[in-house]
Each structure stands twice: as structure tokens, then as C-alpha cells.
Chains A and B, each alone.
Chain A
Amino acid sequence: MERADVAIIGGGLIGCAAAWRLAQRGARVVLLEAGEHNAGASGQNAGSLHFQLERRFLEQGEALAEQAARIATLNVLAVADWRAIECELGADLHVSMAGGLMVAETREEVALLEAKAAREAAAGLAVRLIDGDAARALAPYLAKSVIAACHLTDEGHADPRALTPALAAAARAAGAAIREGCRVEAIKTPAPGRFVLRTAAGGVTAAQLLIAAGAWSASVAAMANIHLPMVPVALQMNATERIAPAIPHLIQHVGRRLSLKQAHAGNVLIGGGWPARMAVRSDGGFDLARRPALSETSLAGNLRAAIDVVPMLARLNLIRTWTGTTAITADQLPIVGPVPRLPGLWVAGGGSAFTLGLTFARLIANAMGGERVRELDLFGPARFDHLNSFMGAA
């Protein structure tokens, strides 16, 4: 039985970053990854660094928008984390923070932008609302149909292919053990603050356990007899052929599902929350082991929105549409913090975890190290503790 201070389940961005931060603090860390690191949403997402409030928070009515706006406090922290990360890791992650524009094409959308900008200003995000001509002065490739935009100078993109491997390397260098192909088959909690994990390659016992398994987090938590209201969602994204640098900004849309940027390699990556279709098991549950199926409707809709906003894209070739699975939570806010029902159990994940993952990992490592981390107060699993009234160590 291998002994550790902290066991982490999940070799994605959050798991590897937390392993690195915790190992830096001197903890003995063992990270267990069922497959290969960076194989899930951490490596499959399109690499946006979006710090403006997301469209998905704005489309569910005023009350939810108000609640979701709390995430802006994390966005402010994430800007600083991203500005520092290449230096800290000593790695080229193709981080580009040349600014982002969230565009509007209708009067209703302009009103949404205005309300959004007010919430962001209150949270300390320096968003600037500009008209269509000012947007085109910044980004001449935008269509005439763009009548307003919110500009945030810190937004941009980074390379999801590079970040998690660099974090894993840093974690190993700091002394963490990262085990790939090591699926956790059972979680036992023989005593408070003691977790025993069974894998085919042997057991691991740890005083603290962090679940950072993305779309698989809810099923991993089930092994510890805990409900975690994180649900998998399948998205699809598109890559064009490579072209010379033409689009330096992150472009998003306040009223339509659209997020696009030109990656370091030259491909334009187009997404924005268009769904793919998850496979279903014969017993009715979603089958996360199988690749989600492409949706032609999403494909056409996504490309339509992209071309409407950036007309030059119509001429480019699509070379790849890919699908991936991520997780969102019951209230759309991330779940990052301790599980009250099971002392020593921690969770981090639940949406926007490329942009925010470094921040989740840094804050949770501090909290697991015993610090009081007020920034996480709003995001802990405690807000869903009622779901676990009948669960836990019973």
C-alpha cells in the first residue's frame, strides 16, 4: 500500500496543476489517471482565455445572470495566473493575450452587452463597450453586421496541447508521482481523513483526496458514496486549414453561440458551445467511454455564425470537426472546495476549466494545505450539501 498525503484522481489540467502546487508545498502527492494525461476536455477544448461573462450565463434570465456574475471575481484572478504561468513553468504554452471582443449584431444584444459590462465593472474587470466601427478599427476582419462589442484587453488563447503536459512535467519535477493507465476501481473511507484507493496496480492510501476527473467526476465521487451535481455535456469544435496570422483576438458573440480564435499554428478554431450527441449505454445512462457523435445541425449553425461575424472564413477549408466531453454543474458555477459530508475529500471542476483551471488548482492547493481561501467560499460543494444528506461515510 502506497502512502501519500494527497491522492488526486484525474490527469487533466486541474489535477496536474494541483499536483504541482501541492508538491511545491511539500506534500507527498500521487495522481492517478485512468487513461493518458490531457486526453479529456483539458486537451480537447479549443484554448480560449475568456474572462468576460459567458453568454451561457446571460441567456437564463436575470436571477441566474446575477448569481453567475460572481464568477467574475475568479476571472480577475485567472488573468494574473495566465500572465505568470509561462514564466513559472519555464515553458512555451503559446499564451496570447492580445484582447478579446464579444460582439453584438442586434439592438437586443447591445442591451445584453451593456448589462454585462455593468456587472463586470462591479467585479473589477476592465471591459470597454465600443461601437461597430471602433470594433472594426481594432479588428478589421469583423463584418459590417457587428454594431457593438465589449473589448477586454486581457483575453486571448493558449495551447491546450501544451499546458497540461507542462504542468505534469512540473509536478513530477516537484516530486509528485503521476500514474497513467491507472484507473481507480474503489474508494474506501475506513476512518475520517483516511482514503484508501484500489487500482489494478495496487492500493494508495492518503489523508486527502482531490477529485478532478472532469466529466467523470460524478461517477468517481459515487465510489466515495457522494453525489456530485456535475453533468457531462458533449461539445463540438472545428479547425480550419492553417493561414498566415490574420485574427489576433478572441472573438465571442453575446447573442449567438460563437467563440473563435486563430491558434498559434495558424488554424482558426471555431466553437462556442455547440452540442454534439453523447452516446447512450444500453441501460440508459450516458456512455462516456464512447466518442460523442457529430451534429450536422451544430456544424452548420456554428460555421454560419462564424462566417456572419468574420466573412473571410467562408473561403477557408474545414479540416477537422472534433467532439469532446466536458462537465457543467447544476447552477453553472464551478464546484471547487471541500465536501462537507466527507472530511478530506475535495472536488474541483465544472465548466470553463481551461480559462479558470490554473486558478482553481492554485486556490484548492492552498486550501488543502490548510489556508483559509475566501475566494472559494462561493464555489464549494457545500452549496449542494443537501444532495448528500443521505450519503457519505454511513
Chain B
Amino acid sequence: MDVAIVGGGPAGQAAALQLAAAGIAATVIDEQPRAGGQILRQPPSAVAVRDWLAGRSYRALKAQLAAFEDCNAVTWRGGTSVIGLSMNEDGAGLTLADGSGVERLHARHVLVAAGCHDLAVPMPGWTLPGVQPAGAVQAMLKSQQMLPEGATLFAGTHPLQLIVAAQLVRAGATVAGVHFAQPLRRFATWLSPAAAIARSADLADALAALATLRRARVPVRFGSAISAIEGAMRVERAIVDGVPIACDQVALCYGFVPQSALPRMAGATMRAAGPAGGFATVADDWMASSVPGLWVAGETTGVQGAPAAACEGAIAGIGIAQTMRAFDLREAERRAAPFRAAYVQHRTFAAVLDRIADPRDHFPPIAPDTIVCRCEAVPRAALAGGSANAVKLASRCGMGLCQGRNCEPTLLRLLGAPDGPGFTARFPARPVALGMLAGD
């Protein structure tokens, strides 16, 4: 096989389409059964959803998704996890797992466009049933039209919570409030001419979301920080600015962290991803990582949003095709030019969003008995030692099912070393049954 693409979101789709335009077939692997990524999380094919993702900012992405799904040069491998990635002179060795077994795949080039996940934010009570990352609430809404029961309180620093709260209201759910820990003046940069022009659709969606929330009389507060979540068996109230607010669900939204397990496993050079933490894969102008044959695009290279991801994916696809001598460097530059131009604008907006959403001064306090590693139930008080690996060995923090994906940013922050180094990446990226690995 020539090209494997990990991730069927905007970046992976854009790369596959550019490769197809160069006459190169690609296999696209995704954990979800259908393409779209988190941003265009599709309902199961048996479910019809009216006005699925009707917002303006989704239009271009939906058009790309339709082209991708119609593309004959793409072999789609949905419902499949890439649990291992190793690189050698011949290219990439991928270990795939789906419901039926484990399979080894070899590709001359692999593009990891694996997206991002919500930053987990520990605080007293955050492990109670009913506490979720806002991204998970949105994924349930997008793919299943499932609404949380009762009233949902949103808290954090990332503007996405406005969008998700409005989507809940429009779908008929109750929102108890949207609380931004940072002051309103931090949002002023959004109105700067550069940012507004770069992404007017997003600004329009945000303003529409605000209007929706206002009509529904949902309080939207700024400089309003959550400090704890309480309840006997599940969420009953959130403590915001020291005052209890009754609610049934809490959706936390402090930012997003790149999926970094596979590039780290493959030994790629990483860098600190940004204010929310985590690690981004370092890439050159053509989205090649430091490891020959391994390419990266989208949030894997740093969280910049779906339009920027699509640009990076297209550039990566063109770069791979050029490396495979589908055309010369000059033609590659010609094809990439519009994506490079658009990317600059999206990047400007992403930088503005990063400044607005910067959670670093606004993380809730973590008590000594607050769980930091959910998988292994490790409280803050148990975290002692020098490096992240040493703390992991001494405390079991990061030794559980999620492989430290969720606790790593918090641990590094508590160690006073937010830029790492983090945990050594270990196989497998997702848990997999022993019998499947043994070839049963």
C-alpha cells in the first residue's frame, strides 16, 4: 500500500482528495463508522437527522465531506483503531484493531490526522456521574441527537461552550448557564479586524449562539469561575463564584489537546501544543514530521480548528503526492498555494481563539484528595517525584486504560513543567483484547 491516512476528519479527507487528484489511492482509517471527524460527527446511517449541522461555518466542511464520500480512490476503514505505529526505512507499520481482530498494515507513507480531544480538568467532584467534557456532549448531540437529561451547566474558558449550549437549547434541552472564567474584555480581540475578517462565519455563529441563549433566558456570565461540583450519587449542583447552582449535568470546556499517541510512539519530534497543554507534532512546510514517511496534519500539529486542519491536510496530500513523483515541486507549490493562503487566515483566527480561551490562569483549584488520574483513582496528594515517568511509576498516575491521555496535561502542570517531557508513549494506543493480538 502506498498511503494510509489515520483520521477521516477534515484534514484526512482533504489529503485523500488531493492524493486522488494526483491519481493516488489512499486507505483512510477512523474509529468512527462514518467519515467526518468530531467536527462533522455523523449520525449512524440508519438515523435521519433533519437540519444536521445547519450552521454557516459547517458549509464548506460538509461539501468536502460529500466529495470525500463520493471519491473512488479512497478505501474507507471505519470502526477501526490504529493501536500501534512504527516507522522504518520502508515506511510505516500500522497495527489496526476492529471488532473482529488485529491486522498489520504496511504503507510507504502514513498521514496521522487524528484530531484532538477535550482537555480533562480535575476539580473537586469532577468524577461524579453527570460531569462531561463539552465536546462529548456535542458529539452525542451531533451523532445520536441525544440530549442530556435535566439542566446542563457549562463552565470553562473556551468559546465552543457557547456553540454547544446553543445547540442544546435549539434541540430542546435545558441549559442552566454558561460560565466563562475569564473576563469579558478577553473577548475583545475577537472583534479585531484581522480576526473578524479571517473567520466571519465563526463570529456569526457565536453571535447567533448568544442570541439563542438570550432568547431562552440562559445566563451567560464572564469572570465567573466554577470551583467544585457536588452531589450524593451524581451531579446535583456546581459551585460557581462560591455560590451553589442547581444542575443535573456539568459540561466542562477549557480547551482541546492534540491526539499525540501515534506520532510519539513512532518517535516523532514533538513540541508543547499551546495554552491548554498537550503535545503537537512538529512538521515542515509540507507537513512532514521529523520521521521519514510520517506526515501529520490537522489538530495533530496543534489545535487550530477544522478549516485550518483541512488546509494542512490538503498540503500534506500534495506533499505526499510530490514525494511519490506524481508531479514536480513547482506543480506542488502551484496546487498548494490557495491552501497556504487560506491557512494564514485560519491561523490568525486560531491564535486569537487561543488567547481568548487560554485556561492557564483559570483552572479550578485541585484539593489534595481530588482525583487527577481517573483510570487509576490517583489523588493529587499521591503525586510525588521528579519527571512525569517517575511520578507514573511511583503513583500509577497514567497507568490506566487511557494511557495517561487525560491526566498528562494536569500532571505536567502540577509538576511545574507544562512543556514536558510527558509520559513515554506505549503500545497500544487503545486497549485491545489479548486474544486478538495473539491471533485467535
Residues of A within 8 A of B (CB): 36, 38-39, 43, 161, 165, 180-181, 238-241, 265, 291, 293-294, 296, 299-300, 303-304, 306-307, 313-322
Contacts and interface: CB of A to CB of B under 8 A. Distances in A.
16 contacts: A38-B393, A38-B394, A294-B427, A299-B427, A303-B434, A303-B435, A307-B438, A314-B433, A314-B434, A314-B435, A314-B438, A317-B431, A318-B432, A318-B437, A320-B399, A320-B428
Interface string B247-260: 00000000000000
Given A36-B385, A294-B86, A321 B428 contact: yes
A318 B428 contact: yes
Contacts of B435: 303, 307, 313-315
B432 A317 contact: yes
Nearest to B93: A296
Given A36-B385, A241-B401, A303-B438, A316 B433 contact: yes
B424 to A, nearest CB: 6
A320 B433 CA distance: 11
B269 to A, nearest CB: 14
A300 B438 contact: yes
Interface string B86-101: 1000000101000000
Contacts of A294: 84, 86, 427
A64 to B, nearest CB: 31
Contacts of A239: 399
B386 interface: yes
Contact of A300 (B387, B424, B433, B437): B437
Nearest to B424: A291
Query: Which A-B residue pairs are the 6 nearest by beta carbons?
Result: A314-B435, A317-B431, A303-B438, A304-B438, A321-B427, A36-B390
A294 B426 CA distance: 9
B227 to A, nearest CB: 31
B440 interface: yes
Contact of B401 (A161, A315, A319, A322): A319
B144 interface: no
Contacts of A304: 438-439
Contacts of A299: 427, 437
Interface in B399-439: 399-401, 403, 424, 426-428, 431-435, 437-439
B396 interface: yes
Contacts of A322: 424, 426
B212 interface: no
A241 B401 CA distance: 7
B390 to A, nearest CB: 5
Given A36-B387, A161-B393, A296-B104, A306 B427 contact: no
Contacts of A43: 393
B389 interface: yes
B248 to A, nearest CB: 30
Contacts of B390: 36, 38-39
Contact of B400 (A39, A318, A319): A319
A317 B394 contact: no
Nearest to A44: B393
Contact of A319 (B86, B386, B403): B403
A317 B433 contact: yes
Contacts of B394: 38, 161, 165
Contacts of A300: 437-439
B434 A307 contact: yes
A303 to B, nearest CB: 4
Interface string B368-397: 000000001000000001110110011010
Interface string B19-34: 0000000000000000
Contacts of A306: 434, 438
Contact of A303 (B403, B427, B437): B437
Contacts of A320: 399, 403, 426-428
A36 B386 contact: yes
A307 B434 CA distance: 8
A241 B433 CA distance: 10
A243 to B, nearest CB: 12
A315 B435 CA distance: 6
B426 A314 contact: no
A240 B428 CA distance: 11
B11 to A, nearest CB: 27
B431 to A, nearest CB: 4
B214 to A, nearest CB: 46
B432 A296 contact: no
Nearest to A270: B434
Nearest to A160: B393
Contacts of A293: 86
Contacts of A240: 434
A254 to B, nearest CB: 20
Nearest to A181: B386
Nearest to A311: B435
Contacts of B84: 294, 296
A318 B386 contact: no
Residue among A294, A315, A318 having the largest count of chain B Cβ atoms under 10 Å: A318
Nearest to B426: A320
Given A293-B86, A317-B401, A321-B426, 10 more contacts: A165-B394, A180-B386, A296-B95, A299-B437, A300-B437, A315-B434, A318-B431, A318-B432, A318-B437, A320-B427
Interface string B67-91: 0000000000000000010100000
A180 B390 CA distance: 12
Given A39-B390, A294-B86, A318 B95 contact: no
A275 B434 CA distance: 18
Nearest to B400: A319
A384 B424 CA distance: 37
Contact of B434 (A181, A265, A291, A313): A313
Contacts of B434: 238, 240, 303, 306-307, 313-318
Contact of B431 (A180, A181, A313, A319): A319
A314 to B, nearest CB: 3
Contact of A307 (B389, B426, B427, B440): B440
A318 B433 contact: yes
A306 B435 CA distance: 10
Contacts of B86: 293-294
Contacts of A319: 400-401, 403, 428, 431
Given A36-B390, A43-B393, A315 B431 contact: no
Contacts of A181: 386
Nearest to A39: B390
Contacts of A165: 394
B93 to A, nearest CB: 8
